[in-house]
Amino acid sequence: MPCYVTYRIRESIPAKEFDSLLNAAKTLNMRVQRNADNSGADIGPIKAVKQGDKYELSSTDGSAIRKLLQEHNIKKVERDARNRGYKTKREVNGQGKLELRVIG
């Protein structure tokens, strides 16, 4: 019987957002290596596998997936705000958490 338990964190994203997820990974300086047959990628400690019209992300490092998805979501909000003519500003609050402010 093992003396430790390993958890695997799983998330999924639509296939149309996969390229923007890879750009977010590059922003975080994560190593990105696509598979030759375009069926997925290795993003640092995260494995991405295409299943239908989604990419399944899995890793034993939960903080890596959280950071990647947070950066992906922030970039998506920034892109949407830019398309509407707004500017955005990233700030860190008193608790050390990242905040995104949309400036009209």
Q: What is the pLDDT of residues 73-91, one digit of tens each?
A: 999 999 999 999 999 888 8
* pLDDT tens for each residue of 39-81: 889 999 999 999 999 999 999 988 899 999 999 999 999 999 9
Angle at 48 between CA 90 and CA 63, to 5 degrees: 45
- Note the pLDDT of residue 98: 81
**Bridge-partner residues for 47, per DSSP?**
42, 58
Rounded to two decimals, what is the model's pTM? 0.81
